[in-house]
Amino acid sequence: MQAISGLSGGNQQKLVVSRELTKESDLIIACHPTRGLDIKAAAFVLNTLLEQRNFGKAVLLVSSELTELMQVSDRIGVMYEGKIIAILNPAETNEREIGMYMTGLNDKIQNSNVN
């Protein structure tokens, strides 16, 4: 058996994700879960979160990686100045539009976008 400290960063992260997902919870909050990981480890983490979603758990993914969010999210909530100002469908938006909302530059920002 190998000590956790002897594992690579990616394997440590996978171990932590696996450990946390064995707990009984209907909600998973993952904040930047792939930061610093190689492509293979990041794919493992994202696929594991998607599996949990498919098992009926709610997954809140907090990330600044827009490409990642676009690939795995059902909805993207965009915050500006501490408030959610838009909830977007990834299939109907793009990184530029999300960035515009994030910086407050989108002139389409309306309260009606938030449901």
CATH class of 1-72: alpha beta
Nearest to 45 by CA among 64, 24, 59, 27: 59
pLDDT for 111 equals 45
Q: Distance (Å, rounded) from C-alpha 34 to C-alpha 44?
A: 9
Q: Distance (Å, rounded) from C-alpha 59 to C-alpha 41?
A: 19
pLDDT for 77 equals 95
At 113, the amino acid letter reads N
Where in the chain do CATH 3.40.50.300 domains reside?
Answer: 1-72
Reduce the DSSP state of residue 36 to 3 states and report it: coil
What's the pTM value of the predicted model, to 2 decimals?
0.75
Tokens of 99: 């960035």
Q: How many residues does the chain have?
A: 115
Contact in structure between 43 and 54 (CB atoms under 8 Å): no
Q: Distance (Å, rounded) from C-alpha 97 to C-alpha 77?
A: 12
Q: Distance (Å, rounded) from C-alpha 72 to C-alpha 24?
A: 23
| pLDDT tens per residue across all 115 residues of the chain | 667 777 877 778 778 877 887 888 899 999 998 888 888 888 988 998 999 999 999 999 999 899 999 989 999 999 999 999 999 999 999 999 999 999 988 755 454 455 5
Indicate left, alpha or beta for 84 from its phi (over 0: left) and psi (-120 to 50: alpha). beta
